[in-house]
Structure 1
Amino acid sequence: MHVFDRKAELIDHLNMERDKNHEIGLVPTMGALHKGHLSLVKKAISENDVVVVSVFVNPTQFDQKEDLEKYPRTFERDVELLKQLDDTIVVFAPDAKDIYGEEVIAKEYNFEGLDKVMEGAFRTGHFDGVGTIVELFLTTVSPSRAYFGEKDFQQLQIIRKLVETQNLPFEIVGCPIEREPHGLAMSSRNERLSETTRKEAGFIYKTLKTANEKFGTESASEIKKWVKSQFEKNELLDLEYFEITDENTLTPMLKKQANQKYRAFIAVYAENVRLIDNLRLN
């Protein structure tokens, strides 16, 4: 297994792979890998000759310093998990100065409103930080394809917009959400939950599924009121937001339109850990 912590060394290695006409896949992560991440890596392995997994906790996408400091870091374990999966995986784990340069700051982007709702409304500057680091990794690795999970569906749509507006020649591949046995969307943040709360947090997915059932006969406002009432009864989980939007534009649904795709989004606090999830509505 190749592990690089310097951008120049990684680029030299990947250029040798390109000389062999090898296609390269990229899976950007912040580490603390779980089965959700590994499902992305497996997908990338199936579609490319070489797979690069970046492991980098990106400071510019955290709006709260405390959240950045508490983010789990398990690099040695991460490398071992990847090695067990496929020992030809290339791991890229730079420090902030190596990937950003002298100034570790986010660029400002125009995501055409995709960044102003839901996560963007609650996390100031978050998506500029995400866009900056994703663009840096894309232009460093120059992959044929890059893989992102649908748990962060708003992020996925913003990255697609980034590639479009910056004219980047890379395919962005979205991959299904992986879930724990009780339904909670897999996330590195789940490790910070107690066993009891982690199990109880399956209530989030259960609520999304019921909202999907209601979507056939009830309005968005009625469903939102119902979701709010369910969390008011739950002593362990605090609802931050629930929204139903157009899947492509992420604008809130006012009236259901034929041939439109809609998705429900939710953010919840459990033991001061912020959990997000989403589900396409039928």
Structure 2
Amino acid sequence: MTPHSDTGPRAGPVHVHGIVRSGFRPRPGLTGVGGGAVLVVAEGPLAALVSAPYGPRGACGPPDAPGDSRADVSVLSAQAAAEAHRRVVDEAAATVCVLPLRLGTVHRDVEQVRRALADRADLYRRLLTRLDGRLEWGVKAYADDAEPDGAAGSGGATAGGTVGSADGLARAAHHALADAAECSRVHHPQDACPSGMAAACATSAYWTSPIAGAPYPHGRNLLDSAYLVPREEAGAFAETVGGLVARSPELHIELTGPWAPYSFADPGRLPDLPD
């Protein structure tokens, strides 16, 4: 018989924060979405970090697959829910490899969590292996709103080798950072924020910008990307960002992280995923 965790809730819907390897124990007193204690539900070599209770029993139906179901979080503060989800995932990521699930991933009960772990065990194991020892860094670049469209040139390189426009500088910055990372993801507006969570996304650093090109505190957002970087190469990556800041005074460049690999939990975004 497959060994099960004895730390999980016994009944009712649970919010699933992320997947880790069995044996991890969260900090005592850590709470998740809805204020419930964070517990571990294990199935073989894998475990899910869950919080419960999450509303009345039967509040949500069974998901088609882990990560595909959304709970109605309208009864909660959207910002509080996003911050609680992030807190649980990032605390785990500080010490172990964690595969984040999307905010609002809810299962009907603990047994459904265990079935999900068993059904997707091979994929989860491969993702954890690929992401082990790696964290996500975010980079955003902004242009001065006062710059008129096209005023800086066409975006091509000048005679001195400097990209003329702010857009061109942002593209060049991304290419330089992508070369310094294992893989990268450029966020698009439609991918920026889960439906109904705009308020939380706007205040939570790990979500991407809700609307690309909209006004920001530092001007127009030209680049909003995530980069997967091994822990031991974090210093070198930060130096690359610092060099871009020095060479690109036309841009305001922000580095955030390290985060759990939120942007790379989908196998389609990871090259060289182990078979």
Q: TM-score, normalised by structure 1?
A: 0.34
Greater per-residue helix proportion: 1
Q: TM-score, normalised by structure 2?
A: 0.35
Larger Rg: 2
Report which structure shows greater RCO (CA 8 Å, sep ≥6): 2
